[in-house]
Amino acid sequence: MSPASAFDPSEDFASRLDADDPLRHFRDQFLHPLRPDGQPAVYLCGHSLGMRPAGARAFVEQELDAWGRLGVEGHFRGQTPWYSYHETLRDAGARLVGALPQEVVFMNSLTVNLHLMLATFYRPAGRRRCILIDGPAFPSDLYAVQSQIRWHGLNPAECLLTVGPRDGEHCLHIEDVEKMLERRGAEIAVVWWNAVNFLTGQYFDVPRLTAAAHRQGSLVGLDLAHAAGNVPLNLHDWAVAFAVWCSYKYLNGGPGAVGGCFVHEKYGDDLSLPRLAGWWGNDPATRFRMQLEPVFTPKVGADGWQISNPPILSMAPLRAALALFDDAGMTALRAKSERLTAYFEFLLDRLPPGRFVQITPRDPAQRGCQLSLTVHDRPRALVEKLETEGVVCDFREPNVVRAAPAPLYNSYHDVWTFVDVLGRFFGEAERGP
């Protein structure tokens, strides 16, 4: 039986699915943005900014209180001393991305961490001077990679290689990536790839990609901005060299939340690797010798790439968010996500044809929770209609509407409401003025 055959398009059916959802209680652990009339909005924008965990305030207030009571002594005293605060995120973060604890550190932001990683892992030499990326790449990734190539005195027009969708298509074929690696692999130093593409929501076969790159002697780094907290990850076993991610999307860490970084133990244990150094990456045993310790000695593991002391007030909300992921478990979240997005797709398929095209893969193994639609007629008017009806998603030029039902806090009725608004909008367009 196909998933669609188990669904019914009625609103009552959506409510029954919610009543049977074993994760439904997590919805109450988040604060839902409100419509102008004070009712909760239908929030399908976790791919851009996740909702606020209800428990985040307590964690922030705890550190504000410690700051007020203890001042500088808060680094070593109090309920959660700031000196080791980043370690409170390590285990849960490692479980979420499939890593060993020492392979993960929360620090900086995604793009800053990308630059730090490329400073170590992009070391062009001889013929091996290129970086291979997926297209369309998120602008920050593209700008960072271009600037790194220029930093080494090279030309991005020659050293930046891209594999994009085939003509007339929206998603990539892994076979095309493998062919590029077979043709140009001896020139490729780093494969920098989005595990989930920001625009289409395509989830890539990372083990297959990594194997193809390793056959050519290329390192693999991953952007997990749209993957962490969205899809199952197993970074250690996949043997990627490094990965970086933000924590404000599916991880619900808050606007501008601290980013995450993974360095495989193969490299994290190698203290001879070049890196851009800062005092917080130094061996903690000598970190506070200050002027008495003029030589940088990196700490083993991902911690050795830290630059500055942790941003405590930015990290605090993430403790609440990661606790919810640990409580729910990624296996259960993925199971709900697949069913929730399959239901979303089922409802979309019942709308009149010709108004939009789903550009996210239909195979559940090749996507997370996000579905992206190219809207043919008045896409901005559709987004305005959704906003008026209290539905929050987003729009990407020229005509892409992205909606992501996050399994931690979204319901089947949320999805039903989104599609109901689409149906009424297209029906009004059909009838005309």
Is residue 141 a part of any domain in this protein?
yes
Low-confidence ranges of the chain (pLDDT < 50): 1-2
Is residue 118 a part of any domain in this protein?
yes
Classified as helix, coil or strand, 139 is helix
Is residue 172 a part of any domain in this protein?
yes
Q: Radius of gyration over alpha carbons of the chain, in Å?
A: 23
With beta carbons less than 8 A apart as the criterion, state whether 370 and 404 touch.
yes
Is residue 342 a part of any domain in this protein?
yes
With beta carbons less than 8 A apart as the criterion, state whether 227 and 370 touch.
no
Q: Which bin fits 71, alpha (ψ -120 to 50), beta or left (φ > 0)?
A: left
- Structure tokens, 354: 């010709």
Q: 70 and 27 in one domain?
A: no
Q: 278 and 256 in one domain?
A: yes
Query: Which residue type does 332 have?
Result: A
Q: 306 and 165 in one domain?
A: yes
Return the closest-CA partner of residue 189 out of 167, 159, 164: 159
The domain boundary, picked from 326, 356, 385, lies at 326
392: phi then psi, degrees, rounded to nearest 5: -105, 115
Is residue 378 a part of any domain in this protein?
yes
Is residue 48 a part of any domain in this protein?
no
Pairing of strands 242-245, 219-223: parallel
Q: 180 and 109 in one domain?
A: yes
Q: 352 and 209 in one domain?
A: no
Q: 266 and 333 in one domain?
A: no
The domain boundary, picked from 326, 354, 385, lies at 326
Query: DSSP string spanning 16-31?
Result: HHHHT-TTGGGGGGEE
User: What is the domain count for the chain?
Assistant: 2
Q: What is the pLDDT of residues 30-48, one digit of tens each?
A: 999 999 899 999 999 999 9
Is residue 53 a part of any domain in this protein?
no
Q: 232 and 116 in one domain?
A: yes
Q: 343 and 283 in one domain?
A: no
The domain boundary, picked from 326, 360, 376, lies at 326
Q: 152 and 220 in one domain?
A: yes
Classified as helix, coil or strand, 197 is coil
Domain that holds residue 379: 3-31+329-431
pLDDT for position 125: 96
Q: 123 and 256 in one domain?
A: yes
Q: What is the pLDDT of residues 317-375, one digit of tens each?
A: 999 999 999 999 999 999 999 999 999 999 999 999 999 999 999 999 999 999 999 99
- Domain CATH number, residue 99: 3.40.640.10
Q: 210 and 243 in one domain?
A: yes
Q: Which residues of 413-426 are buried (b: 16+ CB within 10 A; e: fewer)?
A: bbbbbbbbbbbebb
Alpha-helix runs per DSSP H in 186-329:
206-215, 235-238, 265-268, 312-328
Q: 151 and 245 in one domain?
A: yes
Q: What angle in degrees, to the nearest 10, is found between the helix axes of 312-328 and 90-97?
A: 50
Is residue 395 a part of any domain in this protein?
yes
Q: Starting at the edge strand that comes first in sequence, how are the strands of the sheet with 130-134 ordered?
A: 104-106, 260-263, 242-245, 219-223, 188-194, 130-134, 160-163
Spatial CB neighbours of 432, under 8 Å, sequence gap ≥ 6: none
pLDDT for position 3: 62
Rounded Cα–Cα distance for residues 270 and 263 (Å): 11
- Domain CATH number, residue 413: 3.90.1150.10
